[in-house]
Amino acid sequence: MNNRVEQFKQLMQQNNINNFIITDPFNLIYLANFHGLAGDGCMVVSNQQPVLITDSRYEVEMQGKLPENVDLKITRDYYATAAQLLKDND
């Protein structure tokens, strides 16, 4: 389990935040061990399982590095996928 993600989810709950999209590369490294370039992905954190969204260039690498409590979604349209995840969480 990734304690960083769990701590972040607890902070979200304490501040009544239901959904959060992370796009900053440094925060993606910190939470998901994702070392992609800026703009190469995002992460959706909600009351559901957190999801890292990126493209196929990072698929193999992330399958071995991604924390166990974070899912991986491969797509070319990061933000449409993030929006759909958020819509499905409501």
Distance between CA 12 and CA 47 in Å, rounded?
9
Give me the mean pLDDT over the 6-21 stretch: 94
The whole-number pLDDT of residue 52 equals 96
Place of tokens 């990734």: 2
pLDDT band with cut points at 50, 70 and 90 for residue 2: low
Give me the mean pLDDT over the 51-74 stretch: 91
Give me the mean pLDDT over the 66-71 stretch: 88
Give me the mean pLDDT over the 37-47 stretch: 91
